[in-house]
Amino acid sequence: MSPSSSSKSEPQKEVVRLIGVAKEYGDVGALAPVDLSVMAGEAIVLVGHNGSGKSTLLSIIAGMLEPSEGTVLVHGQPPDSIYARERRSWLPDTPVLYDDLSVREHLEYTIRMHGGQGDEPIIDDLIERLGLAEREDDLPSQFSRGLRQKAAAAVALVRPFTLLLVDEPFVGLDVAGREALLGLLEEARRGGATVLVATHDPAVISRFKRGLVLDDGHVVHDGTADSLHAYLSADVTHGET
Amino acid sequence: MALPDPTPHELSDVEASETDSPTPAVSAEGVSTARDAGSHVHVDPGASSAAMDDLRSARRRRRIGDVAWGDLAYRVYTTALACLVFAVFASGWVGDTELSAASVSSVRDSGPAWAGLFAALCVLLGVRSGTRAGPIALESADVYHLLLAPISRTRVLRRPVVGVVGYGVATAMAVGALVGSLCSQRLPGNTFEWMLSGALFGGAAAALALGAALITASRRIPRPWTELLAWALLIASVVAVAGYLPYAPLTLLGQILFWPLSFSPLPLLVVAVALSMAAIGMMTIGGLSIELAQRRTRLVGQLRFAVTQQDLRSVLLLRKQLASERPRNSSRFSRVPIRFGGRFPVFTRDVQSFGRWPWVRVLRVTVLGLGAALCLYGAWSGTTPLVLLAGLCTYVAGLDVIEPLAQEVDHPMMLASYPEPAGVILQRHLVAPVLVMVLVGCEGLLLVWALHPSVNVLAIGAITVVTAAATAVAGASISVVSEAVLDAGDAAMMPPEVTGPRVVIRTLWPPLVAVIGVTPVLLAQRAMRLGNDPIPPALTLAIPVLVLAGLVFMWVKYREDIHRTMGEAMGAKT
């Protein structure tokens, strides 16, 4: 599919559009009907308690979950379309890697499947910056949780994308790895990508301009980072009283 | 750990004017460098597919390199040996005396309907598997790396689907050929013809079932409709077997198996339909739900591991998860004041657990209870082997009602935190399941009494309900409380000659206990045949059966103590 071949493939200003998207597991509602619009180049942080629906929301946009109701559009296309898959990268909260491919092989095959040659300098760059240089030829089955997370981050970042979805990326990372990943996310955003990050880390929240708060599947706050801080402070105070 | 300064490198929004131009992709040259504004993400499908093929080839090479050829040869040898033993055993069991002309005629008339019933059952299983993204189970990394990549999903799934269909059809053809060979021992006709027709029937039935599964999975047809259709096929086949219909749709397929007795080319149409369904399923598999595929991937992986560990508890639990059988969020009895002033917390917890059962589990246990009752009625009427089936039904129902105990065993840390010994708690968990099983037995008794209203049936049924309920829970509790054989610490130290029989005994003992619980019916039936009062022998046998169940319940309570004492004795000896 050529992006310039038809009107539907025209790059959209609106990268993500959710219209009344809800998700239920049996008789348990994970996400209440949500309407959301994310514009190109936005950097958004999703916060909320455990079970508030952050991961569900990201998984729906990533095409991993199907909404029980509502419509999801990524660049104006269904999330499981090839057009959307070409442009969206997804770093889930649990690293998913082949146990019989080394980190370097993961990166080479991933970039090739997304239009690269497999010998791009970004592979070495990511390996170096994420501190994987000494383990690049090892199998991830021998890795600790943190190393697996770094490898998964490299896989998500090595390919071209315009939308980056990241779910709890800092779990298990050491300080250096955390800083490296934050730097890479910032570079992705500066490169023009739209970035959505779900996290519990308050220090990370401050780095975003727009913040969404989810509570029990509802978007209860959508505003700037400053207003997000104010909201969260008020929420904590309210909770204490 | 010091948190970083919250303000540097702020992930600020891009300027509004920038978004008016085409969205730039983050480039492959580095995440820090955006491509020029006119560039787009664009992937060549051919190159992506080639990369995927290379990835798979690399993995296959690595897997082949890692194969321990000695182990593989041994496994092939043992599998072939087991198949041979089975074939010889089955051949001996079937015998080689040719059937009479009347029997051959009966087989010719009713055989296709029975074979059609088998095919309909396969289709139902296939459809049920398809509603859960079956029959393929991908690796979780394949779901993430390949199904989310910009490659046609039909292309990604082609190889695994062809593998599953090819393996399934080939296996079914081999089994069909074996069945054909067994048929040739007692039915007229050439052995080769029987094997050929058996293989064709097996292959076609497998293609039909797998095709139905793949189409259901790929077209995402709403589950009630596909299952309704499959159930309609099955019911029509049952009606045909019962003789109320001359033909069910799949009776035609069943005719293939009996071609050496009566040849007709018409069934080839069904073979064509079966092959077409398999082909359509393979061609349209790209419509598979990623959510269901991912869920299946995770659960099937765990399920396979649990099977290799002979961990029945985990197998059942994962099977329920695979079928999306989740407990209700709130108990049906949450508003019923079953508290007993807090004096029976374990019993209360068990009752609330039963109140959370999804309807499908309520239905399953009810059907199992009715099935056990009908089997016992069949045994009472003279078909003695049905006792085994009745016992197995009660055992499976017992595994369902023992769930609160199983949950306790699954959370040993929580169990250890209670202010009473673990054995006491576990034993208390047996009370409510026995009562539920008595209720399940009573509905079966009512059914049998409706079929055959007599005092004897009522009395013997009442005795059997009590013994069967106790032993079903006893058998299920042995299965749940005993650790998996391969998990047992001393298993690794034992030679295979000891481990093998141990596995067999451990696997068979729990259902055997459940079967023992329904044997009073047999003794009563024997007394009835001899013209004696059937109730006293049933009562006489009920006492040792209940003692056996009581011993198991005591074992559940003192198991840890027994193990500890034995361990200390062994330690002192050495």
A48 is a domain residue: yes
Instruction: Answer whether A212 touches B (CB < 8 Å).
Output: no
Instruction: Answer whether A192 touches B (CB < 8 Å).
Output: yes
Is the pLDDT at B390 greater than 60? The verdict is: yes
A8 is a domain residue: no
Is the CB of residue B215 less than 8 Å from the CB of residue B126?
A: no
Q: Do A87 and B41 touch (CB under 8 A)?
A: yes
- The ipTM, to two decimals, is 0.88
Quote the CA–CA distance of B321 and B413 in Å, as a whole number. Answer: 23
* pLDDT at residue number B100: 87
pLDDT band at B500 (very low <50, low <70, confident <90, very high): low
- Residue in B378, B328, B372, B376 with CA at minimum distance from that of residue B352: B328
Q: Which residue of A has its CA nearest to B62?
A: A100
B27: its two tokens: 């480039």
Q: Which residues does chain B have within 8 Å of residue A118's beta carbon, measured at their own beta carbons?
A: 51
Chain A, residues 89-108, CB within 8 A of chain B, namely 90, 92, 96-101, 105-106
User: Residue A168's domain spans which residues?
Assistant: 14-240
* pLDDT at residue number A89: 95
A113 is a domain residue: yes
Instruction: Answer whether B451 touches A (CB < 8 Å).
Output: no
Q: Which are the contacts of A107, defined by CB distance < 8 A and separation ≥ 6?
A: A123, A126, A127, A154, A155, A158
**What is the distance of C-alpha B285 from the center of its chain?**
24
A203 is a domain residue: yes
The continuous run of DSSP H or E covering A91 comes out as strand A88-91
List alpha helices for B135-283, DSSP H: 140-145, 153-186, 191-219, 223-242, 251-257, 268-283
Kindly report the nearest CA distance between residue A43 and chain B, in angstroms: 6
* pLDDT at residue number B232: 93
Is the pLDDT at B56 greater than 90? The verdict is: yes
| B19 C-beta neighbours (distance < 10 Å), count | 21
Q: Which residue of A has its CA nearest to B22?
A: A11
Q: Where are the domains of chain B?
A: 97-306, 346-561
Identify the residue with better confidence: B233 or B97.
B233
Q: Which residue of A has its CA nearest to B37?
A: A192
> What is the secondary structure of A30-66 as a DSSP string?
EEEEEEEEEETT-EEEEEESTTSSHHHHHHHHHTSS-
Is the CB of residue B325 less than 8 Å from the CB of residue B360?
A: yes
- Edge-first strand listing for the sheet containing A28-39: A28-39, A14-25, A69-74
A9 is a domain residue: no
Identify the residue with better confidence: B132 or B303.
B132
Q: Do A192 and B9 touch (CB under 8 A)?
A: no
A69 is a domain residue: yes
Query: How many residues belong to chain B?
Result: 574
- Interval B343-374: pLDDT, tens: 788 888 888 888 888 888 899 999 999 999 99
* pLDDT at residue number B416: 84
| A234 C-beta neighbours (distance < 10 Å), count | 11
A208 is a domain residue: yes
Mean per-residue pLDDT of chain A: 86
Identify the residue with better confidence: A233 or B156.
B156
3-state secondary structure B266-331: CCHHHHHHHHHHHHHHHHCHHHCCHHHHHHHHHHHHHHHHHHHCCCHHHHHHHHHHHCCCCCCCCC
- Interval A28-73: pLDDT, tens: 888 999 999 999 989 999 998 888 999 999 999 999 999 999 999 9
Identify the residue with better confidence: A181 or B325.
A181
The continuous run of DSSP H or E covering A70 comes out as strand A69-74
Instruction: Answer whether B1 touches A (CB < 8 Å).
Output: yes
Q: Which are the contacts of B315, defined by CB distance < 8 A and separation ≥ 6?
A: B303, B306, B307
* pLDDT at residue number B124: 93
| B261 C-beta neighbours (distance < 10 Å), count | 21
Identify the residue with better confidence: B309 or B81.
B81
Whose structure tokens read 């079956």?
B134
- Interval B157-215: pLDDT, tens: 999 999 999 999 999 999 999 999 999 988 998 999 999 999 999 999 999 999 999 99
Measured over the CA atoms of residue B281, residue B285, residue B290 and residue B296, the dihedral's sign is positive
Q: Which residues does chain A have within 8 Å of residue B24's beta carbon, measured at their own beta carbons?
A: 162, 191-192
Chain B, residues 30-49, CB within 8 A of chain A, namely 30-35, 40-45, 47-48
- Interval A73-92: pLDDT, tens: 999 999 999 999 999 999 99
> How many domains would you assign to chain A?
1
Q: What mean pLDDT comes out for the span B271-277?
A: 95
Q: Which residues does chain A have within 8 Å of residue B58's beta carbon, measured at their own beta carbons?
A: 101, 105, 109
Mean per-residue pLDDT of chain B: 84
Task: State what percent of residues in chain A have pLDDT above 70.
Answer: 92
- Interval B519-572: pLDDT, tens: 999 999 889 888 889 899 999 999 999 999 999 999 999 988 888 888 788 776
CATH of the domain at A233: 3.40.50.300
B18: its two tokens: 């920038």
Whose structure tokens read 């992506």?
B48
- Interval B2-53: pLDDT, tens: 333 333 344 544 433 333 344 445 444 445 333 333 345 567 888 899 999 9
Instruction: Answer whether A171 touches B (CB < 8 Å).
Output: no
Q: What mean pLDDT comes out for the span A169-181?
A: 88
* pLDDT at residue number A28: 81
The continuous run of DSSP H or E covering B543 comes out as helix B535-573
Q: Which are the contacts of A95, defined by CB distance < 8 A and separation ≥ 6?
A: A140, A145, A148, A149, A151, A152
Q: What mean pLDDT comes out for the span A13-25?
A: 91
Is the pLDDT at B1 greater than 60? The verdict is: no
